A and B are shown apart, each in its own frame.
Chain A
Amino acid sequence: MKSTIPWLIAAATGFVMIAAYFIPAAQGWQGEVGTWFEILAAFAFVLGGANLFAYHLGKISARRAGWGYSGVTLVAFLVTLAAGMLKLGVPAPDRYPTNAWAGDFQFEGSVSWWLYWYLYNPLNATMFALLAFYVSSAAFRAFRAKNTEATVLLVTAFIVLLGRTYAGAWLTSSVPENYSALTFPGMTAIILAVGNTAGQRAIMIGIALGVAATSLKVLLGVDRSYLGSDGD
């Protein structure tokens, strides 16, 4: 019973979506399911927040390794939540001049806006910017022509790296127009449009077949692993 009812809900939703896609008369069901999904998503946000809070609180109270980071996470979580929920620093909008809570929580100058642009924005951008440094270090230490496959990968990377900057165009600028496929930008375009496309299509078609088979197993109740074990 514990897994049957959730499976029935999942199966019914799945079959409704399939019917809505293939049967024109049932197209409207898609919108209804979408509305239900939005309601569930809102609950999922609350559950997710509660789960995050409970997990990190448990980690701090048990003094497990890295509990300090959990403390930072919790403080950031609570401050962001309070700034958004209480609409701190949000002025009353023109339409409702007596009600400050009617304003947008991300209004320019509000605490939430400040947290986003002066904490989240630089921190997030910094994390991505660090990739350039780690990629260059990895290129030096790990990108070796150890065998034929690695050599092919290396040569391809060389061409694409050059072809995606002006260096490639400049180095092969003397190649006649009729032989533009032999320039670095030309070879890059061919690699992306032919070799890459063929490989990606093969992978995608394989994945799609796997997803279809797995989805069918889930809808028919053959695979219920996503519901957890009975003991959960």
Chain B
Amino acid sequence: MFDFLKTLDRRWIFLAMLLAVSLPILAQKTFPEQPTLHVRNVFQKIEDLPEGSTIMISFDYDPGTTGELGPMTTALLRHCCLKRHKMLFLTLFETGSPVIDQAIKEVIEDEFAELELKSGEDYVNLGFKPGREVIIAVIGLNLRQAFPSDHSRTNLDDLPLTKNIVNLQDLDLILDLSAGYPGWKEWVQYAASPYGIPFAAGVTAVGAPQAYPYIPGQMLGILAAVKGAAEYEAALGEKYPKYRDPKLNEGIRRMAPQFWGHLLVIGLIVLGNCIHFADRWRGTP
């Protein structure tokens, strides 16, 4: 048995991980979530803004990280719609534009169809613009210099939502859904910090530790990966009972595979170390 474990074929580990994440998905078991301080800060900021406030949401990710950032995108947009906030969307990722289209379709056009939110009035999709952090620096002073028109080529001066917005300083909040570079750090450096604009970010798990030093000075809080999304959904459910239904909360549903995946990794670390110490005790290399 010891020799089997010592020379364990990694395909057994792959199979175990496959089962650890797929069975909970099939079983649809969920666990309760408790919003942490950073998530609650973001939630409270959106909740406390007066109805009709203007929020910019930058979709700085693409399909590779949709698994992590998709659920929080839905939750944040859902909250903005519930509060009837005005939304400006953009992306600094070349491949991010369709992700915006999908979020608009799923949340604004389908889920909140009864609100009849109108493009140009209630939300504006600015689309993608190459230039990374330079774009943030430019729109910090003049939105039209980088985005003279929206995604459908309508002049910003002709849209009720944007006609009075000169630059980022006219916004009430900026949210960045960030998978890397350009992302939350560039928004902090070129928008939140120089102009003192309230800012929060949703980040991938691997990017979260780097974001903590900016809280609470430059960032209100962060939503870290699926766990952050699940906590935000829990906060939304506390305030709006309709959203306690697990079927509506993709983040909470995805925490079950994460739960078993983490337990498997812990088990593998313990097992690997048991083999390591057994080897040392036996005096074998």
A221 vs chain B, min Cβ distance (A): 23
Question: Can you identify 15 A-B contacts, CB atoms within 8 angstroms?
Answer: A34-B131, A106-B98, A124-B64, A133-B17, A137-B10, A139-B272, A145-B273, A145-B276, A154-B273, A157-B269, A158-B269, A164-B262, A165-B263, A185-B34, A185-B36
User: Does any Cβ of B come within 8 Å of A99's Cβ?
Assistant: no
B67 partner, pick from A125, A145, A189, A192, beta carbons under 8 A: A125
Interface centre among B21, B97, B146, B268 (most CB of A within 10 A): B268
A165 in contact with B13 (CB, 8 Å): no
Residue A116 interfacial (CB < 8 Å)? yes
Residue of B nearest to A198 (CB): B213
List residues of B whose CB falls within 8 A of some A CB: 8, 10, 13-14, 16-18, 21, 31-34, 36-37, 62-67, 95, 97-98, 101, 129-131, 134-135, 137-138, 140-142, 145-146, 151-152, 194, 208-210, 212-213, 227, 255, 258-259, 261-266, 268-269, 271-273, 276
Is A50 at the interface (CB under 8 A from chain B)? no
Q: With both chains docked as a complex, state the minimum distance between the C-beta of B247 and any C-beta of chain A, in angstroms.
A: 19
Q: What is the CB-to-nearest-CB distance from B199 to chain A, in angstroms, rounded to a whole number?
A: 17
Contact status of A38 and B129, CB under 8 A, knowing A30-B137, A125-B67: yes
Complex Cα–Cα for A145 and B275 (A):
11
A-B pairs, 7 with minimum CB distance = A34-B138, A166-B31, A140-B268, A121-B63, A124-B64, A165-B259, A41-B130
CB contact under 8 A between A135 and B265, given known A37-B131, A125-B64, A189-B36: yes
Q: Which residues of B contact A129 (CB under 8 A)?
A: 67
Whether the pair B32, A166 counts as a contact (CB closer than 8 A) is: yes
Does A143 contact B135, Cβ atoms closer than 8 Å?
Answer: no
Interface SS of B by simple majority: helix
By size class, the interface of chain A is 35 or more
Instruction: Tell whether, in the assembled complex, residue B134 and residue A136 are in contact, meaning their CB atoms are under 8 Å apart.
Output: no
Instruction: Check if B130 sits within 8 Å of A42, measured CB to CB.
Output: yes
Q: How far is the CA of A145 from the CA of B32 in the complex (A)?
A: 33
Complex partner residue of A167 from B131, B212, B259, CB under 8 angstroms: B259
Minimum C-beta distance from A83 to chain B (A) = 13
How far is the CB of B169 from the nearest CB of chain A, in Å? 12
The reply to whether A144 and B212 form a contact with Cβ atoms under 8 Å apart is no
Q: Is the CB of A144 within 8 A of B138?
A: no
Contact, CB under 8 Å: B64 / A28: no
Query: A120-B95, A200-B213 in contact; A140/B21 too (CB < 8 A)?
Result: no
Residues of A close to B8: CB separation below 8 A: 140
For A167, list chain B residues within 8 Å (CB).
259, 262-263
Contact of A136 with B272 in the complex, beta carbons under 8 Å = no
Interface contact A31-B262, CB-CB below 8 Å: no
Q: Using known A-B contacts A139-B265, A143-B269, determine if residue A196 contacts B131 with beta carbons closer than 8 Å.
A: no
Q: How far is the CA of A44 from the CA of B119 in the complex (A)?
A: 33
Interface mask (A111-154 → B, CB under 8 Å = 1, otherwise 0): 00100110011101101110011011101111111100000001
A164–B266 CA distance with the chains assembled, in angstroms: 13
Q: Which of A113, A116, A133, A169 contacts B14 (CB 8 A)?
A: A133
Note all chain A residues with C-beta closer than 8 A to B31. 165-166
Interface check A161, CB cutoff 8 A: yes
User: Given known contacts A37-B134, A166-B32, A200-B210, is B269 in contact with A139 (CB within 8 Å)?
Assistant: yes
CA distance A180 to B158 in the complex (A): 54
Residues from chain A with a CB closer than 8 A to the CB of B21 are 132
- List, in ascending order, chain A residues with CB within 8 A of B130's CB: 38, 41-42, 45
Residues of B near A200 (CB, < 8 A) are: 209-210, 212-213
Interface flags, A171-188, vs B, CB<8A=1, else 0: 000000000000001000
